[in-house]
Amino acid sequence: MKNNFSAPSENVLSSIIEGVLDDVKSRMVPIAELKKAIASAPGLRGAKSALSKDGMRLIAEVKRSSPSKGVLAEISDPAALANIYQSGGADVISVLTEQRRFNGSIADFNLVRNSVALPLLRKDFIVTEFQVYESRLIGADLILLIVAGLTKSELKDFYQLATELGMDVLVEVHDEKEAEIALEINAEIIGVNSRNLKTLEVSDLNFELIFPHLPASVIKVAESGISTRSQVALVEKLGANAILVGESLVKSGDPKHMIKELLNR
């Protein structure tokens, strides 16, 4: 597998998914066993309701590394960081569980879930039915489904399964065509990512092209590259209901202050 993340010819998303599939194999168990275990899964906290409140909402992310920037922060105690996010006014906490490129883990997710009361987003590349069940079993209130990483049938099936299991779904799109696909499955929470996961290029134009055309009934989340109050004001004007912020918070030195600054509180 290549490690040159900056090579424009490489489809970074495909490379990440390849690694995710390898990692899933190492912990795979029969789906029948997962179904039986659902009865003892943790209760859910309602991510959609948390993001439906008036005013700009914030999903604060526990994020050590990224394919585009490398190591962002050590984060030796993800639970402590999550508590800072909670006290600062975050509405949902996102925890990376992808290991190879983001240095996350399910262990991080469990630590955070046991230490805060907020709903949690399992931030990973969900590309198998197993991962959807797994997410419910670890207590994920919200999972991420990336349109660019799934076939239309996979997207529809995983979305339906997650909903049947009681979870909310953040459907991530990068362009207008993907937004149409998200709307076709009646996605209630749509995230517009300004970063193209195939090339890692960032363009705020994505927000301008997509947000104004999404129905008012959809919860709209601005993802990637948000670091200033002016950016938050811009996406809010375009129709966004929430922002997802990771890199800026973990590198800020004072996440609590930055949350208040971004939200103008």
Task: Name the fold adopted by 12-263.
Answer: TIM Barrel (3.20.20)
Contacts of 252 (CB under 8 A, 6+ apart): 258
CA–CA gap between residue 194 and residue 224 (Å, rounded): 6
Q: What is the pLDDT of residues 106-135, one digit of tens each?
A: 999 999 999 999 999 999 999 999 999 999
What type of residue is 1? M
DSSP collapsed to 3 states, the chain: CCCCCCCCCCCHHHHHHHHHHHHHHHHCCCHHHHHHHHHHCCCCCCHHHHHCCCCCEEEEEECCEECCCEECCCCCCHHHHHHHHHHHCCCEEEEECCCCCCCCCHHHHHHHHCCCCCCEEEECCCCCHHHHHHHHHCCCCEEEEEHHHCCHHHHHHHHHHHHHCCCEEEEEECCHHHHHHHHHCCCCEEEEECECCCCCCECCHHHHHHHHHCCCCCEEEEECCCCCHHHHHHHHHHCCCEEEECHHHHCCCCHHHHHHHHHCC
Torsion of CA 140, 144, 149, 152, to 10 degrees: 100
Q: Is 225 left (phi over 0), alpha (psi -120 to 50) or beta?
A: left
Residue at token pair 């709903």: 119
Two structure tokens written together for 172: 């991530």
Give the residue from 101, 92, 88 showing the smallest Cα distance to 20: 101
Q: What is the pLDDT of residues 139-196, one digit of tens each?
A: 999 999 999 999 999 999 999 999 999 999 999 999 999 999 999 999 999 999 998 7
Residue 235 in contact with residue 222, Cβ under 8 Å?
A: yes
Residue 10's pLDDT band, with cuts at 50, 70 and 90, is low
Report the relative pairing of strands 120-123 and 142-146 from DSSP bridges.
Answer: parallel
Q: For residue 86, is pLDDT > 90? A: yes
* Other Cβ atoms closer than 10 A to 52: 15
CA–CA gap between residue 66 and residue 130 (Å, rounded): 24
The average confidence (pLDDT) of the chain is 93
Q: What is the pLDDT of residues 23-52, one digit of tens each?
A: 999 999 999 999 999 999 999 999 999 999
Q: For residue 7, is pLDDT > 70? A: no
pTM exceeding 0.85: yes
* Ranges of each domain in the chain: 12-263
CA–CA gap between residue 253 and residue 34 (Å, rounded): 40
The per-residue b/e assignment along 139-150, b for 16 or more CB within 10 angstroms, e otherwise, is bbbbbbbbbbbb
Cα angle for residues 119, 92, 234 (degrees, 5° grid): 155
Active site residues: 61, 63, 123, 172, 193, 223-224
